[in-house]
Amino acid sequence: MAQVQLSQTVFHSQATTPRREYDYDLVIVGGGITGLTLASALKDSGISVLLIEARVASAAVAKGQAYAIHMLSALIYQGIGVWDKILPQIETYRHVRLSDADYPGVVEFATTDLGTPDLGYVAEHGALLYPLQEFVKDCQNVTYVCPAEVVDTQYHKDFVGVQLKINGEMCTVRSKLLVAADGSKSRIRQGAGIKTKGWKYWQSCIVAFVKPEKPHNHTAYEKFWSSGPFAILPLPGNRCRIVWTAPHEEAKALCALDDKEFLQELTKRFGTQMGKLELLGERFIFQVQLMQSDRYALHRLALVGDAAHNCHPVGGQGLNLGVRDVAALAQVIKEAHQEGKDIGDIKILKGYERWRRQENLAILGFTDLLDRMFSNNFLPLVLVRRLGLWIMQRLPLVKIFTLKLMIGLKGRTPKLAQR
């Protein structure tokens, strides 16, 4: 197979000539936020990285998404060294208000509960992706190929061969380890024969940007209704991101409304605490699913982020689980590399799988329980969940435990977050 000069299609390249039996120590498939975070976490590690993204960089940035960034994720980005580039472009939240429909007992989490200046952050897609792309340009050990398509993968005892299509030409690179960061429909995971378990929910999510008349005061809201959770996340410029969960047909009907009618329905859910609402841009709808891969690792293969798991958007856990995956995998393979071990050996990768698979399963179960507990009018469950809110209001230890679980401060902390 002919070699292609990768330097013609990359952001940065340290080297394109083969070294010993492999070309790179690590190949990452997927140059979105998760893949870029992994490449960034390996800066100055001595591990040579090839990062492959199928879409051109401008198209990757154009996704109209926003994410809650939990405290642990922020600490990980601080440990990587990119947080100071991200922070000026995102919004902080210092209060979280949790409520159940019209029940008056609102649980409010505040910075005083943890003694921290913030509880978390909200970032639009580009506000994370752009700084990570720029950071990777300065990683001397990372080669970023974009756009490039993975055509085939072949796993061998000592390396994995990755066949690429770049500018219409084919080439094959060999690596010690392949990491799938290519999303929930991961072709790498499917090609490796890794099965998944899970289900699609009876709900879809409507997401939209709005500008309220009054200040959002750095407050995030999670309101539970019998049709599904409803979240309001603060953004820069006194804007908010709405995540509105509803049964499929109801969600489709809401999206079919004109802007005026949609805003009327939105105000019923949103409330009047921020005054009149202005709709910004388009509305988007997507189906909600839960998915857990049977394996996170095989010999010379590891899965991270949405390639490994998906969860209900309640609590904004999705991206944060992927960031924790990345920090754990980076720690495991850096330690193995420093000890002269083979980073693609299944014995090494099992350590990553044991660490992350069980922790992710706990969060997947937690989000599923929250959605099922609150998305109904079954009287016994209504009484139980409102008793839970009452207890959280009155027992600080329960409240603080719940808050720490929500923002990632429970479970094993990666070394990147301890710097």
Rounded Cα–Cα distance for residues 390 and 205 (Å): 28
Domains 6-64+129-197+290-418 and 91-111+201-289 in one fold: no
What pLDDT is recorded for position 56?
Answer: 65
SS3 157: coil
List the pLDDT tens digit at each of the 419 positions of the chain: 444 445 434 544 443 333 446 799 999 999 999 999 999 999 999 999 999 998 765 555 545 689 999 999 999 999 999 999 999 999 999 999 999 988 888 999 999 999 999 999 999 999 999 999 999 999 999 999 989 999 999 999 999 999 999 988 999 999 999 999 999 999 999 999 999 999 999 999 999 999 999 999 999 999 999 999 999 999 999 999 999 999 999 999 999 999 999 999 999 888 888 999 999 988 999 999 999 999 999 999 999 999 999 999 998 899 999 999 999 999 999 999 999 999 999 999 999 999 999 999 999 999 999 899 899 888 898 899 899 899 998 999 999 998 998 888 888 999 999 87
Query: What CATH number has the domain spanning 6-64+129-197+290-418?
Result: 3.50.50.60
**Alpha-carbon gap, residue 319 to 59, rounded angstroms:** 19
Domain 91-111+201-289 has CATH 3.30.9.10: yes
Residue 371 in contact with residue 77, Cβ under 8 Å? Answer: no
Helices (H), 87-146: 125-137
Domain extents in the chain: 6-64+129-197+290-418, 91-111+201-289
Residue 63, pLDDT score: 53
* pTM reported for the whole predicted model: 0.92
